[in-house]
Amino acid sequence: MPRKSASSLTVVPVVPGQGRPEPPAELDLLEQSIWREIVGSLPGHWLDPAGQQVLRRAVAQAALCEQHEARLRVLRAEQLDDDEELTALATAHGNSAKIVAHLLAQLRATPRSRVASREAGPRVADAPRPQRPWDIHA
């Protein structure tokens, strides 16, 4: 009986996504650009339909952040003291940035969200593994 190589027997698991999804048609050009940047930074097959819904929200918030930043630069260039619009816009920008960071962490799209902490690192190997039905012996 001929032997098979180890590489021919390996199984490559695929996360439930459908490859790298294109941005939805209803997104504007800025949102589509942000979508492509985020999807391009993720592993292939990373986004399933539920993840794409989260990504849509992250992209919308990221586009708002871009607009806030452009307006903040204009207001700062004017160098007005005690400008209420500048303060309100900076607050709105901060809130949007926090939302973007949270949504990207939920998608595990940031480097930090994919790495175990130093404290948890050694403990991960000791964590009990869930038993699969075929591993349970009665």
pLDDT digits (tens, 9 = 90+) for 93-106: 999 999 999 999 99
The candidate with the shortest Cα–Cα distance to 103, out of 56, 54, 41, 38, is 54
Question: In this structure, is residue 41 part of a structural domain?
Answer: no
- Say what the pLDDT of residue 31 is: 97
SS3 category, 47:
coil
Question: In this structure, is residue 100 part of a structural domain?
Answer: yes
pLDDT band at residue 23 using 50, 70 and 90 as cut-offs: very high
Q: What's the pTM value of the predicted model, to 2 decimals? A: 0.68
Question: In this structure, is residue 12 part of a structural domain?
Answer: no
- The 10s digit of each residue's pLDDT in 51-85 is 999 999 999 999 999 999 999 999 888 877 778 88
Domains in the chain, number: 1
CA distance 118 to 123: 9
CA distance 109 to 40: 10
Question: In this structure, is residue 62 part of a structural domain?
Answer: yes
Per the structure, the complete domain to which residue 58 belongs is given by: 27-33+52-108
Question: In this structure, is residue 101 part of a structural domain?
Answer: yes
